[in-house]
Amino acid sequence: MDSSRQASAQAAGVRLVSTAIVPATPEDATSIAALHAASWRSTYRGLLPDLFLDEEVDRNRLDLWQRRFELDEGSRPLTLKAMSGGTLTGFACALIDDDAEWGTLLDNLHVRPDATSRGIGKLLLGAVLARVREAGVSKRLHLWVLDANTRARRFYEREGGVESGTASVELIPDVHVAEVRYVFDAYVR
Ligand SMILES: CC(C)(COP(=O)(O)OP(=O)(O)OC[C@H]1O[C@@H](n2cnc3c(N)ncnc32)[C@H](O)[C@@H]1OP(=O)(O)O)[C@@H](O)C(=O)NCCC(=O)NCCS
């Protein structure tokens, strides 16, 4: 395995294992949705309504992932998963060349809450940027992050993202949140 695609990860709690970044398939829909919901519950507490996080987020994320994986392979967003040993520890989802000005949209990047700070987010972001360099017409990548998500913002800034704009976004029905856009040049990082 390419060494740039490995990282020390204590994903199972005790064992040090290497992490591989590989394409996700429709069979991953349920486990990716569960990780996505767990990450939202852990990260967005206090930022999204408790009722949504306690009772609706699992269904909401499962609907999203089932819809995405029902698309033909050609029109589906790029979805990469991080596997540490046999365990899913993170995923990234991107729309290549989504925007004429800002390039590829990194729509989601989540590491399992008990596997953060071990380099898995960096591996996933690096793998998406590599794909932008190979497949994108534009060599830019952008993403939106909650203004209040300081940990993720620190991560993106350290990885070379440049803040470039703000917006109020309806993240879930009837809930508007302040978000910040970060832009990456795929050749700089
Ligand atoms: C933001 C996020 C994707 C970053 O992923 P990550 O795997 O935690 O990121 P990395 O490990 O690559 O780098 C982050 C941290 O690990 C440290 N680190 C990196 N590689 C490391 C390694 N091999 N060993 C130990 N620490 C390491 C970094 O110094 C950094 O520290 P900090 O977070 O305490 O400041 C992740 O924290 C996450 O999923 N957060 C919740 C969801 C979220 O906010 N997603 C973004 C939505 S826009």
How confident is the model over 115-132, as pLDDT tens digits?
999 999 999 999 999 999
CB count in 10 Å sphere of residue 94: 26
- What is the reported pLDDT for 17? 76
- Rounded to whole angstroms, how far apart are CA atoms 171 and 65? 16
Reported as a pLDDT band with limits 50, 70 and 90, residue 144 is very high
Half-sphere exposure of 82 (CA within 13 A, CB side): 35
* 72 CA distance to ligand 1 middle (Å): 32
> Which residue owns the Cα nearest ligand 1 atom 32?
117
- Please report, for the chain, the start and end positions of each structural domain, with discontinuous segments joined by +: 3-139
Calpha distance 17→10 (Å, rounded): 6
DSSP letter at 72? -
**Strands, DSSP E only, in 74-161?**
78-84, 87-99, 103-111, 140-146
C-alpha 121 to ligand 1 mean position (Å): 5
Ligand 1, atom nearest to 9 Cα? 23
CA-nearest residue for atom 7, ligand 1, is 121
Looking at residue 136, its pLDDT comes to: 87
Stated pTM of the model: 0.90
- Ligand 1: which atom is nearest the Cα of residue 106? 48
What pLDDT digit, counting tens, does each position of 38-58 carry? 999 999 999 999 999 999 999
How confident is the model at residue 132, as a pLDDT? 96
Fold for the domain defined by 3-139? Aminopeptidase (3.40.630)
pLDDT of residue 9: 42
